[in-house]
Structure 1
Amino acid sequence: MSKWTIHPIVMGTKVFDKGMMTYQHDYGTPYTIPIYTWLLKGGDKTVLVDTGEMSPVISEEREKAIGGPIHTFEKGLELHGLKPEDIDVVLHTHLHNDHCENDWKCSNARIYVHEKELEHIHDPHPLDFRYLEDYIDDVEENGQLEILGGDAEPLPGIRMVHTPAHTEGGMSILVETEKGTAMICGFCTILENLFPPVEVRAMEMEVIPPGTHINANEAYDILKKAKDMADIHIPLHEPRFASVPVIPEP
């Protein structure tokens, strides 16, 4: 089985209330999250998990807040000697706009996405304004999509597992590495969601659901189950990975 490495590349940021990440906790606390694409190396295909923002805000203030540099899609890939057309496979955790804005640049990629994400991006509920079909139209028309109805194994050493905590079609990506199974979460969280502080654990809560979710109780249960799937946990918006060049870390 292939052993992979995961390379975080920051493709944008958001500045908002921390409660958008940690349901029922830390409302009113300003917080900056990184938006990543994750480059997977180790097999015979060049693989990305999500594609980030198309026009990220790049500022000293935001880079200081997340502890690492922010890149455009092209500049971020260039760090690894790649261009968008070199990408063979894109695996989507979900299709909120900040996770798919650069899909159209990956003209040679097969793009894996759950069928529920396509359903919602074409007909979003008014509360879910993060779905914007303009970012998926080109690749859909080009026949680049691999539409999933559930769990899948797109490549040796990489599995996609349906974890509908944040969105109905959310997929967590399980990646086999030299140091065990790494999970790129299919729900928008930080490490605190999976490993809450002592004051939350004292309330007999083992995890904190994402601030945006389909159902809070079900999201809690899904996070608990997903946490047990992996040895290495990679929440989609954890700031500390902005300064980490490779996972597993040496």
Structure 2
Amino acid sequence: MSLYRIHPIVVGTKRFDKGMMTYQSGYGEPYIIPIYSWYLEGGNSRILVDTGEMQPIRSADREKDLGGRIYTFEDGLEKYGLKPEDIDIIIHTHLHNDHCENDYKCINARIYAHEKEMKHIHEPHPLDFRYLEDYIEDVHERGQMVIIDEDMEVLPGIRVVNTPVHTEGGLTVLVETRGGTAAITGFCVINENFEPPIQIKAMEMEVIPPGTAVNTYEAYDWMLKVRDMADILIPLHEPEFAKYDVVPGT
């Protein structure tokens, strides 16, 4: 079994109210999140988790707030001697637009997504405007999509588990590393969701569900399950990782 190193590549950002991340807390607090493409280095395949934004806003003030550089997709891959056409596998945590806008550039990749994400990207609910089928039409027509309906091993050392927290078809990616099993969450959270401040813990909450969830009660329970699956937790939008070339411990 291969062991992997996980490289966070910032390929976008969002500024918004922190409450978008933390259910019933953080409202009114300005916050910036990075949008990542995660390069899994190891084995014989070149693997990404998500592909980020096509045209990320790149500015000195955003990079200062993040404490790290914002890349275009191509520039981010170039750090590791890669081009979009070199990518063999893309695994999607979900198919909101900011996680799949560069798929079409990866003409040789097999692209894994859950069947419920494919359903929603073609028939989005009015409450979920973040699904835009334009970004997966090309790869779907080229036969690159691998649509799954159950938990599975993608490659030795890389598994996906359906975690319907932020979206129904969210896939948490479990990656074997030298530090143990790392979980790239299939839902949009930050460290604080898994490590609540004392005033939240005083309410007997072990975790904070994401600010937008399919079912908040179930989201809470799924977060506990994911926490217990992993030796290394990688919340999908945690700003801290923007400072690193490699996720610590991997």
Q: Which residue of 2 aligns with 1:23?
A: 23
1:103, CA displacement in angstroms?
Answer: 0.3
The whole-number CA distance in structure 1 between the counterparts of 2:96 and 2:9 is 18
> Are residue 180 (structure 1) and residue 180 (structure 2) matched?
yes
The separation in 1 between residues aligned to 2:137 and 2:247, in whole angstroms, is 32
**Residue pair 2:6, 2:246 contacting (<8 A) in 1 also:** yes
CA deviations 1:138-168 (Å, max 9, x no partner) are 0000000110101011111000001000000
Q: CA deviation at 1:222?
A: 0.5
Q: What corresponds to 2:234 in structure 1?
A: 234
- Using the alignment, how far apart are the partners of 1:207 and 1:49 within structure 2? 24
State the partner residue of 2:138: 138
Q: Which residue of 1 aligns with 2:113?
A: 113
Secondary structure at 2:74's aligned position in 1? helix
- Tell me whether 1:129 sits opposite 2:135 in the alignment: no
Q: Which residue of the partner structure matches residue 10 of structure 1? A: 10
Distance 1:168 1:195 in 2: 24
- Counting matched residue pairs gives 250
**For the residues of structure 1 that align with 2:248 and 2:90, how far apart are their CA atoms?**
20
Deviation at 1:66, TM superposition (A): 1.1
**After the TM superposition, which segments of 4 or more aligned residues of structure 1 sit over 2 Å from their partners?**
247-250
Q: CA RMSD in A?
A: 0.8
Looking at structure 1, the residues matched to 196 and 31 of structure 2 have their Cα atoms a distance apart, in angstroms, of 17
Alignment of 1:1-250 (within 5 A): 1-249=1-249
- Aligned-partner SS, 1:228: helix
Would you say the 8 A contact 2:167–2:214 is kept in 1? Answer: yes
Equivalent residue letter for 1:169: G
Q: 8 Å contact 1:177–1:248 — kept in the other structure?
A: no
**In 2: Cα distance, 1:70 partner to 1:248 partner:** 19
Give the drift of 1:106: 0.4
TM-score (norm: length of structure 1): 0.99
Query: Given that residues 232 and 249 in structure 2 are in contact (C-alpha distance below 8 angstroms), is that contact kept between their aligned partners in structure 1?
Result: no
Amino acid at match of 2:215: N
| Structure 1 residue 249: Cα displacement | 4.0
Code of the residue aligned with 1:134 in structure 2: it is D
Equivalent pair of 2:94/2:170 in contact (CA under 8 Å)? yes
Q: Which amino acid aligns with 2:94?
A: H
Distance, in Å, in 1 between the alignment partners of 2:199 and 2:231 is 24
Q: TM-score, normalised by structure 2?
A: 0.99
Could you say what secondary structure the match of 2:121 adopts?
helix
- Give the partner amino acid of 1:87: I
Q: Which amino acid in 1 is paired with 2:218?
A: E
